[in-house]
A and B are shown apart, each in its own frame.
Chain A
Amino acid sequence: MMAAVSADNRGLRLATRYAVLLLVAIIFVFPLLFMAMSSLKPDQQLLSDTDSLRAFLPVGDISFNNYFAAFERAPIGVFVFNSVLVTGITVVLTILVCSLAGFAFVFLDWTGRGVVFSILLATLIIPYETIFIPLLLMASQLPWIGTEGIEIGWLNTYRVQIIPFIADGLSIFLFVQFFKDLPRELIEASRVEGASWWFIYRRVVMPLSGPVIATAAILKFLFMYNQYLWPLMVVQAEEIRPVMVGLGYFTDQLNVPWGEVMAYLTIITIPVLAFYLSLQRVFIASVASTGVKG
């Protein structure tokens, strides 16, 4: 009797859990489904379907015409390449620079460490948009050694989209918090064995930091891939324009070709999903172990 009740309870709990999970999954999946399905429909059908569940189904006049039209309207391949390139380089450099900074804050003993870290934390509350104007003025006057010697001004380049975003307070903070929880004995033992700080960083600390690397990488990837205002201000050439600015190709003063917009959004979502899914397992482990939310 007891066994039967217990089995029933377990079954009920399981069913409830799956029902809740299914509901949450639906809430998260439906916008993506709407986007993908809408990208296959002509505008008029797309809009008329929005008042029913048909909006989430591949029904009616289905075709890839919106995709063909979208590729005709804008150099989508160029935009995606630019965004992936800029985002990829920034993510790699962020992991390198911010982990080194975090390492210095946690393991090296230097005067003013606390003050500098406090200042760094304070930068977290400053929205990027508020510093864009001075940053723009600075970027327009910065020197660079190019193929023709020293050039003045970084505007209209890849580097102006990358370098200002390599070091950031949040990524350093994440590394600091993670490094603090690593067993100090490992570091001390390495020092006793005569290992250099660079060796410890490279061979001891970083191999143990998969979760925080994944977290910092995903957060930075999303931030960089979704950049709109900064590239809009600093990039004029179409050949180095990123995907979010490219979205503007699909609206004019009065009309929005919604089917093409959905096709474009579907295409540019693919790199984000691929990146997230490839790091999902490590990211979830990181969230579970550090309590950091993405």
Chain B
Amino acid sequence: MNKTLILSALIAGSLTGSALAQTELSLWYHGAGSANAEEALVNQLVEEFNASQSDWTVVIETFPQLAYNDAVGAAALAGKLPDILDVDGPVMPNWAWANYMQPLGIDESTLEGYLPGPIGRWNGEVYSVGLWDAAVALTTRRSTLEKYGIRIPTLETPWTLDEFNSALETIKASGDFEYPLDLGMAWKGEWYPYAFSPFLQSFGGDIVDRDSYQSAEGILNGDEALAFGEWWQSLFTNGYVPGTSQDSADRETGLLEGKYAMSWNGNWAALPVVEAFGDDVLFLPAPDFGNGSKIGAASWQFGISGTSEHPEGARAFIEFALQDKWFAAFSDGTGLIPVTASAAEATENYKPGGPLEVFYGLSKEQALLRPVTPGYIVQAKVFEKALADIANGADVADTLDAAADEINEDIENNGGYGH
């Protein structure tokens, strides 16, 4: 009896010892409460990583997205950052600049063939990598365009500015819809720079000068930007799009209910439209306003915190996640775009002939990262306010001048943000 007890104790002790030998890595994730399958998949990824090796145990802590960035900022201040951070792509340069993050240190050849958006690069080094990306498109119905004799644009020959304006005018004149186009003005925050700054960039302007990242003067308020601003305002004054007070329910269902002829929306909202319209649905590329068709890129990514004492463990976790298997699983679970072509082939929606295949091409061909600078988080808010003000009737030149001044002041106050 005593021998049995001693043996049991020894076995238990050795098991405990082996468990203790695993070093704990903390991972913070932003998606607490998210309605889709993303959170469950992140948990599954963590579980499989933990089971796949005996050196590391990743422990996940989830935060509501609304509070996530503030929680990270507070933890950085207190020196309590986790080992692995989940970071929104355009925010990454700010966290890298503030030393919240350190370079990943992974073999960059493993990232060959990835879409451009999911690779988070700052100062020549990769700081974060995503398992998916997102893309936006003009969603409409083939029958609608054919009814009004409007050319169906392609990735190679998108609409020009004149064609786009003409299409809007034609649909407006028909009186068949409340509005020809839904831009998603009911959505606020990051939607504005993500969805609308590519229009500005296609006009030839930008939020900030990408050569130096030291000024917005002449870029956000230059001739091209003014042309963009005037056009942007005309969308509202001509009654082509709902304004900033758009009902969020209309944003969700306006296209399906026939209130809008077209909708500027992301791939995450595409499947219900496919289900409703079937083969009649069209996902069209952004118009080319003079400098090529452009759409936003970069979603949430994983990186290593600047204070992690176990970067090799964090790196091992991220490398484990960078497999087609996971890209496909996340894509199938959430509807987002897998980051490699080989993973896309293994998905339900992005495989050749899949209902969302077009989004992979859009992401590959048209994606333009939002300004890769630590100042972006301020610039995004300034840009959002300027666009909302112009939509509500503010003077275009004055508004863009003020926005450029505000961005320049912020850059100056932060010593140029390390560029």
Which of A236, A245, A246, A254 is in CB contact (< 8 Å) with B187? Answer: A254
Which of B65, B75, B79 is in CB contact (< 8 Å) with A236? Answer: B75
Taken together as a complex, chains A and B put the C-alpha atoms of A74 and B34 apart, in Å, by 9
Size class of the B contact interface (CB-based, 8 Å): 20 to 34
Q: Among A233, A237, A248, A253, which residue has the most Cβ atoms of chain B within 10 A?
A: A253
Taken together as a complex, chains A and B put the C-alpha atoms of A251 and B190 apart, in Å, by 13
A249-272 with Cβ < 8 A to chain B: 249-258
Instruction: Let me know if B99 is at the binding interface, CB within 8 A.
Output: no
Instruction: Let me know if B80 is at the binding interface, CB within 8 A.
Output: yes
> A202-213 toward B: CB 8 Å interface, digit per residue (1/0)?
000000000000
Do A232 and B249 touch (CB < 8 A)?
Answer: no
Interface hit among B56-64, B236-244, B338-346:
B56-64
Supposing A48-B249, A73-B35, A74-B32 touch, asked if A233 and B65 sit within 8 A by C-beta, the answer is no
Which of A44, A238, A250 is in CB contact (< 8 Å) with B253? Answer: A44
Taken together as a complex, chains A and B put the C-alpha atoms of A47 and B186 apart, in Å, by 12
Instruction: Let me know if A35 is at the binding interface, CB within 8 A.
Output: no
Contacts of A137 in B (CB 8 A): 77-78
Do A238 and B61 touch (CB < 8 A)?
Answer: yes
Interface hit among B66-74, B102-110, B158-166, B379-387:
B66-74
Do A140 and B65 touch (CB < 8 A)?
Answer: no
Instruction: Let me know if B124 is at the binding interface, CB within 8 A.
Output: no
Contacts of A47 in B (CB 8 A): 247-249
B66-118 with Cβ < 8 A to chain A: 66-67, 70-71, 74-75, 77-80
Chain A's closest residue to B250 (CB) is A47
Instruction: Let me know if B231 is at the binding interface, CB within 8 A.
Output: no
B296 vs chain A, min Cβ distance (A): 12
Supposing A73-B33, A232-B70, A232-B74 touch, asked if A248 and B64 sit within 8 A by C-beta, the answer is yes
Which of A153, A232, A234, A253 is in CB contact (< 8 Å) with B65? Answer: A253
Chain B's closest residue to A42 (CB) is B249
> A43-55 toward B: CB 8 Å interface, digit per residue (1/0)?
1100110000000
Chain A's closest residue to B33 (CB) is A249
Size class of the A contact interface (CB-based, 8 Å): 20 to 34
Do B32 and A232 touch (CB < 8 A)?
Answer: no
Contacts of B190 in A (CB 8 A): 253
B172-222 with Cβ < 8 A to chain A: 187, 189-191
Which of A237, A248, A255 is in CB contact (< 8 Å) with B67? Answer: A248
Do A136 and B189 touch (CB < 8 A)?
Answer: no
Instruction: Let me know if A14 is at the binding interface, CB within 8 A.
Output: no
B246 vs chain A, min Cβ distance (A): 11
Do B249 and A43 touch (CB < 8 A)?
Answer: yes
Q: Among A236, A246, A254, A258, which residue has the most Cβ atoms of chain B within 10 A?
A: A254
Chain A's closest residue to B88 (CB) is A253
Do B191 and A254 touch (CB < 8 A)?
Answer: yes
Do A249 and B77 touch (CB < 8 A)?
Answer: no
Instruction: Let me know if A155 is at the binding interface, CB within 8 A.
Output: yes
B196 vs chain A, min Cβ distance (A): 14
Instruction: Let me know if B28 is at the binding interface, CB within 8 A.
Output: yes
Chain B's closest residue to A138 (CB) is B78
Instruction: Let me know if A133 is at the binding interface, CB within 8 A.
Output: yes
Contacts of B63 in A (CB 8 A): 236, 248
Taken together as a complex, chains A and B put the C-alpha atoms of A253 and B70 apart, in Å, by 15
B77 vs chain A, min Cβ distance (A): 6
Taken together as a complex, chains A and B put the C-alpha atoms of A238 and B65 apart, in Å, by 13
Chain A's closest residue to B72 (CB) is A236
Do B33 and A74 touch (CB < 8 A)?
Answer: yes
Taken together as a complex, chains A and B put the C-alpha atoms of A257 and B252 apart, in Å, by 11
Supposing A249-B33, A256-B248 touch, asked if A237 and B74 sit within 8 A by C-beta, the answer is no
B392 vs chain A, min Cβ distance (A): 20
Q: Among A44, A140, A236, A245, which residue has the most Cβ atoms of chain B within 10 A?
A: A236
Do B78 and A248 touch (CB < 8 A)?
Answer: no
A163 vs chain B, min Cβ distance (A): 16
Chain B's closest residue to A258 (CB) is B248
Do A251 and B65 touch (CB < 8 A)?
Answer: yes
Supposing A44-B249, A74-B32, A232-B67 touch, asked if A238 and B78 sit within 8 A by C-beta, the answer is no
Contacts of B78 in A (CB 8 A): 136-137, 139-140, 155, 234
Taken together as a complex, chains A and B put the C-alpha atoms of A245 and B64 apart, in Å, by 8
Since A74-B32, A137-B78, A155-B80 are in contact, a sample of 13 more A-B pairs with Cβ atoms closer than 8 Å, ordered by chain A residue number, is A44-B253, A47-B247, A140-B78, A140-B80, A232-B67, A232-B71, A234-B74, A238-B61, A245-B67, A247-B64, A247-B66, A249-B33, A250-B33
Question: Can you identify 20 A-B contacts, CB atoms within 8 angstroms?
Answer: A43-B249, A47-B247, A73-B33, A74-B32, A136-B78, A137-B78, A232-B67, A232-B71, A234-B74, A234-B78, A238-B62, A247-B64, A248-B65, A249-B32, A251-B65, A252-B65, A254-B191, A255-B187, A255-B248, A256-B248
Ordered nearest first, which 8 A-B pairs have the shortest CB separation?
A249-B33, A248-B64, A248-B66, A233-B74, A140-B78, A44-B249, A248-B67, A47-B249
